[in-house]
Amino acid sequence: MQRRKFKPEFKLQCVLDAISGRKSPAQICREHNMSESVLNKWRHLFMERALSIFENGSSKVSVESQRISELERLVGKLTLELEASKKLSSYFPSQ
């Protein structure tokens, strides 16, 4: 028997329904023909990773913005070097 694969959006919706109390875990599992252990695993994983959204969210953005700033600085430096090279090459006759 082949395992079913569920999309992340579907998993999220099931977990949110269970956490919010809109539906009982048993009702969700009956509607989608799945075992309650699967839903419990998704809910546990969701709760485990939920903290990291708030802890690491800002640091990831700052790391990316630091990288962008570094690359912009490097582009500026290379542009200046290229302009200086063009000026210097105009002083020497071409062969």
Half-sphere exposure of 26 (CA within 13 A, CB side): 0
d(CA 58, CA 72): 21
Which of 23, 17, 4, 83 is closest to 46 using CA atoms? 17
The two structure tokens encoding residue 66: 């630091």
Whose structure tokens read 């009956």?
30
d(CA 86, CA 89): 5
- Position 95 scores a pLDDT of 63
- Position 61 scores a pLDDT of 64
Mean pLDDT for each consecutive 10-residue tract of the chain (95 residues)? 89 94 94 94 91 65 84 94 90 76
d(CA 83, CA 89): 10
- Position 52 scores a pLDDT of 74
d(CA 23, CA 95): 82
